[in-house]
Amino acid sequence: MKKPISQRKLEANRKNSVLGAQATKDKFLRPYLANPNHCKMCGTMLPFEKKKNAFCSQSCAATFNNTGRVRIPKYEKVPCQHCGTLVSHNKKYCSITCSSTARTKYTPEEAEQVRKARTREVSAAYRAKLRNQTPPDADRKAIAEFYANCPKGYEVDHIIPISKGGLHTLSNLQYLTITENRKKGSKLVPAEGFEPPILRL
């Protein structure tokens, strides 16, 4: 059976261990102090314990690594395609108003005129359909274009009114001024004071 180590011997072992570690450290410390390493950013001498590090702190490391780097690229602003106001590089228009205005084919007045022309064409076609007065071979596209091209201040009129048996065909359509169309109404014979139409297909 081994004899227990005395307290005095334990203290001596601890002291020798500390002295030995210090001696080993001093052995490597002296050459290091003669030629120490320095922080790449601030130039501070690195302690012996951090001799393998490149920087003295995380702050120096971050500053060094981020110098001259732009993580979010800066793009030049581009002009709005409608009004010319400078906007972000990935946008075409500066606002919803510019976007909707630029995408619209017509001015508000022209859009209203086109809407009314389409409404009149559809209404006339519907009335003719109810009376079975649209021939199967009627060119609906040409009729729609005739209504869409109606000049401002004029209306499309059926030469022979649908109510009097006229067909909803291109050959039965003409342009009349609003006043003339109101005077003619649904009559076959021109009303008193009615002049022949100026524009006719």
In a domain, 165, yes or no: yes
Share of the chain above pLDDT 70, in %: 89
CB 180 within 8 A of CB 194: yes
SS3 121: helix
Q: Which amino acid is it at 98?
A: C
CB 182 within 8 A of CB 154: no
Q: What is the pLDDT of residues 18-65, one digit of tens each?
A: 777 777 777 888 888 888 899 988 989 998 888 889 999 999 998 888
Q: Is residue 128 part of a domain?
A: yes
In a domain, 3, yes or no: no
What domain range is 145 assigned to? 108-200
